Structure 1
């Protein structure tokens, strides 16, 4: 279900160049504030909240803040939510799509910096461990993330300090790929997605960003489960590289949407 920003008032207009996507699961305490921040930072962009099977008022709070809302019938995880968002954006001809956390950890002020980097990349990652901010990972999670960063950097021939960051922007070439093929498992939407992009010949880059502390809700994975899965993803990278390179289909023409 996709609702317009103002319920009951159908409005037709050309899509914006940029679609800001907030995948959200039970983020009623933060999603409205984040939508407000995004709209202030990028008033020229459209904002889409993917309500990923929430059992609270996430969808209502997002609509009240002026976002479009896609309500999924049950929880698909971030990967499934973003695949739905990429298909939505691809079918409507958006030129850029950026994923922003609904819990407020990503700073919308960085959106323009990410888009500026799109001049020579197809996928740009907002990297936490690149010299800006004080965010730190500790213990096994830190070791696993460093290992993943080293593997992905070597594989893509691009220095990547934070391949698990969900703060990333794509252009139409990457959008055409991700609308059809996008990993849905936990962390597949970040790490394996970069492998897919590289295998498809897309250009990958990163921009240093400062991560903010979560102020509401709880993380969906604890440190130990995250660390174990990060190590599993390293093995999955080899399988992703071995399979046939994905093909990129052309994007449709831009058109007016409701």
Structure 2
């Protein structure tokens, strides 16, 4: 791990798996234009040059020896944030799709509403386009509404999320918490308050998403099974409602 930079109350965690083509532009943008925020790159067992780039450039990063998946990378980042006493964590993808200029808007929304999580949403004030991926996203939105008594989240698959201190600890140490849409249903049923802020997202800087058509179908099937079946039998801790 590179040397720890000056601690602020906000930590940006950047999960990165094989993002050698993107990570420099993402981190350089943060260091150049948003130096008020601390960050840590979570190199999730990358097999490309992601680790070498982070080390060569002196970035603040954690180097996971094997690929743990997004959930494992997020948990590692949350534990880091909890250990160093951060008040907020922002999850920012390592592919350049998320724009840090919305961080202040998200913090303002969290402080205004007292919510636990703020999602950077592409569809807070804008309609979803009609394509296969967005149809799947809308179906997940409806599934969450059905299983949570009508609670609406427009952009359930957005990976740009702001977490408060309570959620930092939960996501770091509770196995029931992951960064996937099915967890949103679980959280809402546990009384966790979630809000959205309108953002614009960019195309990824380089590379391709692992969610091709085949993987997208499999992903959607897993999410629907979890929301409609697994979430009903999941044990809810009383502490989640406090």
Q: CA RMSD in A?
A: 2.4
Instruction: Quote the Cα distance in structure 1 between the aligned partners of 2:25 and 2:144.
Output: 34
From 170, 190, 201, the equivalent of 2:191 is 201
Query: 2:98 and 2:128 mapped to 1: Cα distance?
Result: 12
SS at match of 1:70: strand
Offset of 1:159 from its aligned partner?
A: 2.7
Deviations 1:184-213 (A, max 9, x none): 8xxx52213313322432211111111101
* Structure 1 runs of 4+ with >6 Å offset: none
Task: Give 2:3's aligned residue.
Answer: 4
Structure 2 CA distance for partners of 1:135 and 1:161, relative to 1, 3 Å: closer
Deviation at 1:61, TM superposition (A): 2.2
Unaligned 5+ residue runs, structure 1?
6-10, 250-258
User: In the alignment, which residue of structure 2 is the partner of 1:172?
Assistant: 165
2:217 equivalent in structure 1: 227
Per-residue deviation at 1:113? 1.2
Is this contact kept in 2: 1:135–1:211, CA < 8 A?
Answer: no
- Residues of 2 paired with 1:111 and 1:63: CA distance? 26
TM-score calculated relative to the size of structure 2: 0.87
How many residues align structurally? 236
Could you report, residue by residue, the CA deviation over 1:13-70 in whole angstroms, capped at 9, with x for unpaired residues? 5x21011011011111211110122234432211100001112221232345553110
Does the CA-based 8 Å contact 1:176-1:248 persist in structure 2? no
Does the 8 Å contact 2:128/2:134 carry over to 1? no
**Residue 126 of structure 1 pairs with residue 120 of structure 2:** yes
Unaligned runs of 5+ in 2: none
Instruction: Give 1:244 shift.
Output: 1.8
- TM-score normalised per structure 1: 0.82
Distance 2:219 2:122 in 1: 20
Aligned to 1:23, which of 15, 26, 32? 15
Q: Does 1:59 align with 2:59?
A: no
By percentage of residues, which structure has more helix?
A: 2
